[in-house]
Amino acid sequence: MSWNLPNTLTWTRIAAIPLIVLLFYMPYPWADPAAGLLFAAAGITDSLDGYFARRLGQISRLGAFLDPVADKLIVAVALVLLVGKDPRPAIVLTAAVIIGREITISALREWMAEIGARRTVAVSQLGKYKTILQIIGLSLMLYRVPLLGLPTYWLGVRLTVVAAAATLVSMVVYLRAAWPELTR
């Protein structure tokens, strides 16, 4: 069943991408906070779609395919937007690390699936923490304006840099797990 609740949440996350882009470029003072909040809400659907799929027994091949695609698309688009507004080397490097890791691990998982060893590179707990750090960090960076006196953009940059470090560590973990197959 392709139009179940988990898949609808995933499609909603994908549909949020052009809205985030639109809000990001709007010249209104409320637009940046709205983009950050929409990104955060989309990030929450990432947890909910998997939860509901398992809880309701609505795991599907379409959902298994779409969920990681939606995650990678929304994160990559947010990083590209942010680099466009803040091209400092630390921001560019952070974006390159995160996007590069996602491409590398996606290719690794595809290859491992082809040889029947997909479970070797299944999503780890570190990968889940990395995703949470990315969602919070990028939400704060997109939000941009101070909130309750907190420098949201500054905090978002720090969290996103930590997420990039976790991204590198998780990539090493996945590559080490796959190394015997890669060198066979």
Tens place of pLDDT per residue across the chain (184 aa):
578 999 999 999 999 999 999 999 999 999 999 999 999 999 999 889 888 888 998 888 888 889 889 999 999 999 999 999 999 999 999 999 999 999 998 888 888 888 877 777 777 788 888 999 999 999 999 999 999 999 999 999 999 999 999 999 999 988 888 888 888 8
Q: What is each CA distance from 184 to 158, 178, 180, 181, in whole angstroms?
A: 39, 10, 6, 5
Cβ proximity of 164 and 91 under 8 Å:
no
Cβ proximity of 98 and 79 under 8 Å:
yes
Domains along the chain with CATH numbers: 5-182 (1.20.120.1760)
What pLDDT does 142 receive?
98
The secondary structure of residue 36, as a DSSP letter, is: H
Which residue type sits at 14? I
The secondary structure of residue 118, as a DSSP letter, is: G
Predicted TM-score (pTM) of this structure: 0.91
What pLDDT does 166 receive?
94
What pLDDT does 104 receive?
92
130 CB burial (10 A radius; 0-12, 13-18, 19+):
buried
